[in-house]
Chains A and B, each alone.
Chain A
Amino acid sequence: MSVVSDAATVGGRPHEPVAPATKRPHHWGRIALPAYSWLVIAYLVFPIVVMFVYSFNKSVGGVPQVSFSWNGFTTLWYRTWNDAPGLTSAFWLSIRLALIATAISTVLGTLLAMALVRYRPRQFHGKGVIEQILFVNIAAPEIVMGASLLGLFVTFNIGRGFITLVLAHVMFCIAYVAVTVRARLTGFDRSLEEASYDLGAGPFTTFRRVTLPMIMPGVLAGALMAFALSIDDFVTSNFVSGTSSPFPVLIYASTRVGIPPQVFVFGSVIFAVGIALALSSLAIGRKRI
């Protein structure tokens, strides 16, 4: 969810005009509160530092497994990042899966959001029911969704693999995309579309030239959220993956027999790339404002 809420704020959610705080922050507001906040931030960052440090830890007796104790510094795991059996291919599988799930769920979720905003309950039967489904879908525990999907596939004898992963991932992304896009559509000015029709544009041209550019920030935020949800999903994937394991499922499975040290290399690199992208988007966002 995360990255997206962030993006949503960066893009500028319609807020009340923020009046400057009338009173200067109280003394605890000046010292204790920031100090506390930085402490919480340190707590959030600490495990990531630990991960980074352990990615340079030597292994015991030449067995390529991470060990809890510190055995000395090595860059071996960065040089042999591709050597952990199955890890790299699981990573690419996760990327492929996330891209496909994001593409499908963004299109479907956006269309759903538009329908929900445009039609009144009287024109659109079952609108209330659909809204309830979206809400429950977002709030329901993942283990129930994963378990029930497994029940579905087993009942209809559907073999599990990449296809079932895509089906499941799109399912849990749609609601998030729809809700994110709808939040942006609520203030949408329909008279612009009407003007476009008046000027002789067809429905397709109107959508492409008028509607889409206006809802684009919302669609992007939705897509980002879908991507983040899909790439990090473990619980549902673990139930529906069969023999093709995405990245988180493979790592979880490897905890039973010893984690290859390259896991922390992947973790550190993905973290660095993610943070770099987020920081640059922050910088760009600030410039635009």
Chain B
Amino acid sequence: MPAVVWLVVLFVVPLVIMLSLSLKTCNPASGACTMTWNWGELPRQVNLYRTEFFTSLEYGAAATIVDLILSFPIAYWIAFYGGRKKNFFLMMLLVPFFVSFVIRTLVWEFILSPSGFFLTFLRHAHLVSANFHVLGTGSAVIAGLAYNYLPFTALPLYVALERIDRRVLEAAYDLYASRREAFMRVILPLSVPGIFAAFLLTFIPAFGDYVNQQILGGTSSTMIGTVIQNTFLVTGDYAAGSALSVVVLVISLIGIWLYSRVLGSRSIEEYL
């Protein structure tokens, strides 16, 4: 099957090569890498950039939680009360995707810039202080991540809520459950797989993201994605970059493994 060959050659093999690169030593001049079984590189890099790993975990998690809180009510509303306009509302959730990822992140830079018209307006209206600045801080990065990945959270939640069998809900009401009880004991438990999928599909890309950090963040908010990008594309140190990527991959694989242990690897496709 050509598809399998394609995936093996261009997905599995590169990951193996990345593993082996992380044990090599690369010549900074020619870029040629030779195997030196340099086991020390991985712990050395992790130690050097542990702050960035933690920053990424923190921002990824914060953005995911913001997204879950933001999108659960709207997903619930569309699933239960969307009626005939469901598709229209779903499309509204997807509106950001009609603008290129890099452009919409850039636009956030314009919105959050102290000299942009939005903050200028807020300053004139005395809604923020004259010294208020958010561009270049961690909050700006989290805001950008939350905006960019919101549909990744909202859609799986919607699918999960939509699939809840209304007869179960009816049965709860027949048994004199209050709305609150019905929500807490029927809807919420039944949407747990969706919350799981939403978490996985939002957290992993947000964790590995660097575009938001590069455009919206400052020096105190460097994420590991930025470091990986720089080691590969700026300093051209493939061994160090590979070592860092291996760690990111392992962290992601733990999440993926947990998910498939609990819900099965195929269940993800229902939420795409």
Contact = CB atoms under 8 A, between A and B. Distances in A.
A and B found bound together: yes
Contacts of B163: 15-16
Interface string A169-211: 0110011101110110000000000000000000000000000
Contacts of B106: 251, 255, 259, 263
Contacts of A20: 166
B21 A155 contact: yes
A212 interface: no
A131 B265 contact: yes
A252 B211 contact: yes
A50 B118 contact: yes
A271 B33 CA distance: 44
A63 interface: no
Given A48-B95, A148-B17, A139 B12 contact: no
A41 interface: yes
Interface string A53-75: 01000000000001011100000
B99 A69 contact: no
A267 to B, nearest CB: 4
Contacts of B248: 141, 143-144
Closest 8 CB pairs of A and B: A141-B208, A148-B14, A19-B166, A108-B3, A112-B3, A2-B97, A274-B98, A171-B10
A46 B78 CA distance: 20
Nearest to A108: B3
A151 B17 contact: yes
Interface in A241-289: 247-248, 251-252, 255, 259, 263-264, 267, 270-271, 274-275, 278-279, 282, 285-286
Interface of A: 1-6, 9-10, 15-16, 18-23, 25-26, 29, 33-34, 36-37, 40-41, 43-48, 50-51, 54, 66, 68-70, 108-109, 111-112, 115, 130-145, 147-152, 154-155, 167-168, 170-171, 174-176, 178-180, 182-183, 225, 228, 231-232, 234-235, 238-239, 247-248, 251-252, 255, 259, 263-264, 267, 270-271, 274-275, 278-279, 282, 285-286
B26 to A, nearest CB: 9
B124 interface: no
A235 B7 contact: no
17 contacts: A16-B165, A33-B77, A34-B81, A45-B92, A48-B107, A50-B111, A54-B110, A69-B115, A141-B205, A147-B232, A151-B238, A174-B6, A178-B3, A180-B272, A183-B269, A232-B101, A279-B91
A129 to B, nearest CB: 9
Contacts of B152: 1
A3 B96 CA distance: 10
Interface of B: 1-4, 6-8, 10-15, 17-18, 21, 31, 33, 70-71, 73-74, 76-78, 80-81, 86-104, 106-108, 110-111, 113, 115-118, 120, 147, 150-152, 155, 162-163, 165-167, 169-170, 173, 179, 200-201, 204-205, 207-211, 215, 225, 228-229, 232-233, 238, 241-242, 245, 248-249, 252-253, 255-256, 259-260, 265-266, 268-270, 272
A45 B147 CA distance: 10
Given A112-B1, A136-B256, A36 B73 contact: yes
Contacts, number: 291
Given A144-B252, A259-B106, A138 B272 contact: yes
Nearest to A135: B265
A47 B104 CA distance: 7
Nearest to B79: A18
- Which of A5, A20, A275, A285 has the most chain B CB within a 10 Å cutoff? A5
- Which of B92, B103, B113 has the most chain A CB within a 10 Å cutoff? B103
Contacts of B166: 16, 18-22
Nearest to A154: B238
A26 B183 CA distance: 12
Contact of B92 (A44, A47, A50, A175): A44
A48 B99 contact: yes
Contacts of A10: 87
